[in-house]
Structure 1
Amino acid sequence: MTLPKTAEFHLSGDHVRRALDHLASNDTQLAEALSLWGYPQERRTDGGFSALLRIIIGQQLSVKAAATIAARVDAAMDGEATPERFLGLEDDILRGAGLSAAKVRYGRGLAEAIAEGQFDPDELHLLEDAQALEKVTALKGFGVWSGRMYLMFSLGRPDIWPADDLGVREGLRRIRGLDDRPDIKEADALGEAWAPYRSSAALMCWHILNNAPA
């Protein structure tokens, strides 16, 4: 099956629906989940410094807490999230907005890498998944999870499987009817059946977790 792709963002809402329908045609458990919960919504963020900074902010925080802190940091930059404006802020202002000392360092490292031409987020669109992930994870403070989030939500890559994400593994447990949440290695193996549309499957896992009762 060949799914239509857009020039800029491959993980569109239309792609997600078509991909999940295709996967569900050979997966009765996924088909049942779709009948119960429907389709996940498209998730898309602008790329570049702003998106990468938001990923730093969101590390190990709830969505609500991350959004609150991100709004404060944006306000401190007068609504213009650029490397230069971020570098112009004092540490005390960033800490007051809610960033930890480590996240201040990571943010400054990101801003400096872009401002000095050592890292160009725009070039990631030209790279294969593995190469793009390597570029992002070379930045201090960006692990594999952070890189995968950028590839999914800013680059729209259709076959990213964040098995290290707790929410994905819990959603996977519910789809497969498992007694225990799979570990990362098990989730990686289980996710192989959904290639090459694993990003859509991951969105479904989050969708179930966010809407199903505990």
Structure 2
Amino acid sequence: MPIFEYGDTEIDWLSKRDKRMAQAIERIGLIRRNTMPELFPALIRCIVDQQISTAAARTVNARILQLCGGQINAESLLAAGADNLQRCGTSMRKVQYMLGVAEAVQSGKLDLSAISAMDDAQVIRTLTDLKGIGIWTAEMLMIFSLGRPDVLSWGDLAIQRGMMRLYNHKDLPRERFERYRRRYSPYGSTASLYLWAISAQQNSVS
């Protein structure tokens, strides 16, 4: 499975810009995070994964993949039908979101091939026009499907926790968060990987 690509350029930039981030990078080492370059199945997975455990999400996604004959696209999802999709273990509300995405693609209302040419703000506007896709989900798709280099999500609580731990802050006002975002730019996505790792370490200790 492909991984999010970064290397010396991103590490050197972040390390020179921020001493504490440099120490974290040195301690944690290279992070390998899987990506989903195919945007349609990634959208469907994001809808399924909302507000359920990782184990439950894995089970539901595997069932949907099997139901769709091993390939999740607009045609196979619409052919599966709402009732069969719900029997995979997800809510009818999520099923309607998934079918809405499939219908938008099939009708041409949503051109997934055009999204890669959009700037980040346009990507967020386009994806959040879809029911079931919020800003955080769009930002995760930007990192893990589109490979965008400069995404740092204010709406991600794990990133906020990692940032507070890294800098020993008891709270994180939006203004402070934005200051760090500017510091990490243009490699906010790589910084996100390390902040997630820092947050996970914190949770494993607590």
TM-score relative to the length of structure 1:
0.86
In the alignment, the residues of structure 1 paired with residue 30 and residue 184 of structure 2 have an alpha-carbon distance, to the nearest angstrom, of: 16
After TM superposition, the structure 1 = structure 2 runs for residues 166-205 of structure 1, keeping only pairs within 5 Å, are 166-180=157-171, 182=172, 186-205=176-195
C-alpha displacement of 1:36:
2.1
Q: How many residues align?
A: 202
Q: Is the 8 A contact 1:169 1:183 kept in 2?
A: no
- Residue 43 of structure 1 aligns to a residue in which SS? coil
In the alignment, the residues of structure 2 paired with residue 96 and residue 136 of structure 1 have an alpha-carbon distance, to the nearest angstrom, of: 26
Correspondence 1:128 to 2:123: no
Match among 95, 98, 106 for residue 104 of structure 1: 95
Match among 16, 20, 29 for residue 11 of structure 2: 20
In the alignment, the residues of structure 1 paired with residue 176 and residue 83 of structure 2 have an alpha-carbon distance, to the nearest angstrom, of: 43
Q: Once the two structures are aligned, what percentage of the paired residues are identical?
A: 32
> What is residue 5 of structure 1 aligned with on the other side?
none
C-alpha displacement of 1:46:
2.1
C-alpha displacement of 1:127:
1.0
User: Which ranges of 4 or more aligned residues in structure 1 deviate by more than 3 Å?
Assistant: 183-186
TM-score relative to the length of structure 2:
0.89
Per-residue CA deviations over 1:62-90 (Å, capped at 9, x if unaligned) read 33332221111111112111111111223
> What is residue 142 of structure 1 aligned with on the other side?
133
For structure 2, the residue ranges without an aligned partner over 5 or more in a row are none
After TM superposition, the structure 1 = structure 2 runs for residues 1-214 of structure 1, keeping only pairs within 5 Å, are 12-14=5-7, 17-180=8-171, 182=172, 186-212=176-202, 213-214=205-206
- Residue 23 of structure 1 aligns to a residue in which SS? helix
In the alignment, the residues of structure 1 paired with residue 83 and residue 182 of structure 2 have an alpha-carbon distance, to the nearest angstrom, of: 46
Query: Structure 2 counterpart of 1:89, which letter?
Result: A
In the alignment, the residues of structure 1 paired with residue 179 and residue 34 of structure 2 have an alpha-carbon distance, to the nearest angstrom, of: 25
Which one is further off, 72-81 or 56-65? 56-65
In the alignment, the residues of structure 2 paired with residue 141 and residue 27 of structure 1 have an alpha-carbon distance, to the nearest angstrom, of: 36
In the alignment, the residues of structure 2 paired with residue 87 and residue 184 of structure 1 have an alpha-carbon distance, to the nearest angstrom, of: 41
Give the RMSD, CA atoms, in angstroms.
1.9
For structure 1, the residue ranges without an aligned partner over 5 or more in a row are 1-8
In the alignment, the residues of structure 1 paired with residue 49 and residue 164 of structure 2 have an alpha-carbon distance, to the nearest angstrom, of: 24
C-alpha displacement of 1:101:
1.7
In the alignment, the residues of structure 2 paired with residue 209 and residue 190 of structure 1 have an alpha-carbon distance, to the nearest angstrom, of: 16
Which one is further off, 136-145 or 42-51? 42-51
- Residue 151 of structure 2 aligns to a residue in which SS? coil
